Amino acid sequence: MYETHFGFQEKPFTLLPDPAFLFLGKQHSAALSLLEYSLENEAGFAVLTGAIGSGKTTLIRHVLDDAAKNLVVGLVSNTHPNFGELLRWALFAFGVEPKGADKAALYQAFVDFLLEQYAGNRRTVLVIDEAQNLGPDALEELRLLSNVNADKHQILQTILVGQPQLRELLQQPELTQFVQRIAVHFHLDPLSHTETTGYIRHRLALAGGDPELFDAAACALVYRYGGGVPRVINVICDTALVYGYGAGLPGITAEVVREVVRDKVRAGLFSLPRGIDEDELDGVHSREAPAATDAEAPTADVHTAVQSPRS
């Protein structure tokens, strides 16, 4: 739609997690280093948490894409409070067909699979997304599975990825033994003002466009209204490009960003960060309310920010 107009080779702000577009700001660089460390050193458990849209899935995919070729990875991504036995889902993630349906048969099939991979000089990594939906029983089940070792090697490594509620879950007293097995934990905070600008420029350049297509004031408003959350930044920027294309503009200005957010708010598709008055979107307080600085990071209500339709 707007790719030809702005000279892109592909859409720069797609909402799908794409490791090729990973932006390594301070937060994501630190998380990446810790996750790589956990894989290289055979850590039993690693935990990555962050708000909705903070880039957790993109980061995990990047880590696994660049990981050693001898890794066998299983992904459980559809967790919910009533999704059943975790062991059964883990077997499904690795494509293992158990010989029986009872608990003992499931466990034996999983152990046999792990030992088979170990014998073939392969390491097994289980990634559980949306892990905040797991209950204490499921986490205890994971802890027991981690007891399967061979020659002092950790033959099953587990990465839990979840929203901030996962941290609250892990603080429950009955999970003390599980928490003691966690070698690495990192929480992704929103991007800063400077990082948001870098993030926008990074994605524009990777898509083959002009990294300065969004001027400085536009980037500042994307940060102010998006709160530094990558998915919300993508929503605002993608729609701003549609608006800019529709108006035949050569670039994206602060007024385009303000118009995008104003329309989304009025349509009930977006909630402004706390502390920002809706009148600002009409320019009533635009002079008195400059874009937030790094020290004034707003918190976007990403739960109610709706993704824009993709062409």
Where in the chain are the domains? Answer: 26-188, 191-296
Of 208, 224, 207, give the one whose Cα is nearest residue 216.
224
3-state secondary structure of 127: strand
Phi, psi of 123 (to 5 degrees): -105, 140
Q: What percentage of residues in the chain have a pLDDT greater than 90? A: 65
pLDDT of residue 289: 41
Confidence grade of residue 75 (pLDDT, cut at 50, 70, 90): very high
Confidence grade of residue 288 (pLDDT, cut at 50, 70, 90): very low
Confidence grade of residue 294 (pLDDT, cut at 50, 70, 90): low
Residue 51: alpha-carbon gap to chain centroid: 8
pLDDT of residue 151: 63
| 285 or 134, which is more confident | 134
Q: Which tokens in the block code for residue 80? A: 């919910």
Q: Is 216 buried (19+), middle (13-18) or exposed (0-12) by CB count in 10 A?
A: exposed
Helix residue ranges, H only, 86-135: 86-93, 103-119
Mean pLDDT of the region 11-22: 93
Q: What percentage of residues in the chain have a pLDDT greater than 70? A: 88
Degrees, nearest 5: CA angle 59-60-62: 65
Query: Could you tell me which residues come within 8 angstroms of residue 146 by beta carbon, excluding any fewer than 6 positions away?
Result: 44, 45, 154, 156, 158, 181
pTM listed for this prediction: 0.85
pLDDT of residue 304: 31
At the top level of CATH, which class does the domain 26-188 belong to?
alpha beta
Confidence grade of residue 68 (pLDDT, cut at 50, 70, 90): confident
For the stretch 115-150, pLDDT in tens is 999 999 998 999 999 999 988 888 888 888 888 876
3-state secondary structure of 153: strand
